[in-house]
Structure 1
Amino acid sequence: MSKGKAKEKRGGFLDVVVTILVALGVALLLRTFVVGVYEVPSGSMLETIQEGDLLLGEKVTLNWESPKAGDVVTFESPREPGTTLVKRVIAVAGQTVDLRDGNVYVDGVQLDESSYTLGKPSYSLSDQAGSAGISYPYTIPDGYIWVMGDNRTNSLDSRYFGPVRVSSVTSKILCIYWPIPDVKAL
């Protein structure tokens, strides 16, 4: 093989290696700052999200916009650092949450949650061992949000651990992307 062809082969190989390294770098940057991929470990968001579903969350808008009521978000567990939880935002700073007769009220107005709770009642978890002991009505402090799982009878959420710091929110969920039968925007 001539010297020129060997040099050309090495150059082609080097181009492939550089391309792969750049692609990996871009993927790492996207994963760190733009999108997150999450696997749901529990049934706390049933029937909206199934156990084992894979979710795609976006991180960019959190830089200028706080989560709002109705958003499904991921955040670091206030009780288990390093654990990511997925819940629905029910109320934001300054709003008052109340639980009466199995219903959720925000600022005195009963929420219509039938589309995602399947009519399951929402009771206080303040009497459970280890809970934050929240008493109702409860006003959400500045810099916090109130989150609850859609599976109200099987979810440890703000009723248990209290409000969540907005700064601990890691993404807003865009969609379920796997498995195929569960694919949908959230």
Structure 2
Amino acid sequence: MNWRRVFKRVGVLISAGCTVRVFSSYIASIVVCDGVSMNPAIMDGDIVIVEKISTLLYKHERGSIIVANSLHSNDPHSLICKRIVATPHDLIPFERENRKTRWKDRKYVPKGHVWLEGDNKSESIDSRKYGSLPIGLIQGRVVFRVWPLSRIGCVASNMKAKHRER
């Protein structure tokens, strides 16, 4: 057995592993989307590429579909996929309800937060339920769908999100 060859191969594997780790932490990663809250833009089971550079540069725009750590889950590694509908200092009108009444309310998105909503409003647990999301929880912006092959392509940030008053 040639130990020099073994150490060289181990070194190559360690280098490759470090490169993949840095790439997936700071450049882009692959995420499997689960749930129907973003239908029809992102369907249950879609596999997407999430770029992370814009998040590191704090470039968050209305209409972007993002992946973030969940606020409403007991699992700290749970991710959500939602659309940014408002950025800091935007005014958000929304409906609230309890067991007896439903009323309209509005509030400003605080500095350092964004307001997220799913495109499929009736099936989405989002900022209407848990409030604005701290920007630090955003993992990245969805840019490309790789699966299913019938829908492969760029995921456009459409401005379905209405412009909010400042």
- Name the TM-score class by shorter chain: 0.7 to 0.9
Could you report, residue by residue, the CA deviation over 1:128-176 in whole angstroms, capped at 9, with x for unpaired residues?
Answer: 68xxx99522211111111111111211111111111111111111111
Greater than 6 Å deviation, 4+ residue runs? none
Q: Which amino acid aligns with 1:44?
A: S
- One of 65, 70, 79 as aligned partner of 1:84: 79
Q: Distance in 2 between matches of 1:28 and 1:46?
A: 31
Provide the residue aligned with 1:68 in structure 2.
Answer: 61
Q: Which amino acid aligns with 2:14?
A: L
Unaligned runs of 5+ in 2: 156-166
Provide the residue aligned with 1:142 in structure 2.
Answer: 111
Provide the residue aligned with 1:37 in structure 2.
Answer: 30
Identical pairs, percent: 19
- One of 14, 17, 26 as aligned partner of 2:19: 26
How does 1:53-64 map onto structure 2 within 5 Å?
53-64=46-57
The Cα shift of 1:17 comes to 2.6
Q: Distance in 2 between matches of 1:25 and 1:149?
A: 35
Q: How many aligned residue pairs are there?
A: 151
TM-score, normalised with respect to structure 1: 0.73
Contact 1:33 1:60 in 2 (8 A): yes
Unaligned runs of 5+ in 1: 1-5, 100-123
Change (3 A) 1:175 1:24: same
How does 1:1-186 map onto structure 2 within 5 Å?
9-80=2-73, 81-99=76-94, 124=95, 126-127=96-97, 136-186=105-155
CA RMSD of aligned residues (A): 2.1
Q: Which amino acid aligns with 1:96?
A: L
Change (3 A) 1:155 1:128: farther
Provide the residue aligned with 1:117 in structure 2.
Answer: none
DSSP-derived class of the 1:50 partner: coil
DSSP-derived class of the 1:28 partner: helix
DSSP-derived class of the 2:50 partner: strand
TM-score, normalised with respect to structure 2: 0.81
Change (3 A) 1:96 1:134: farther
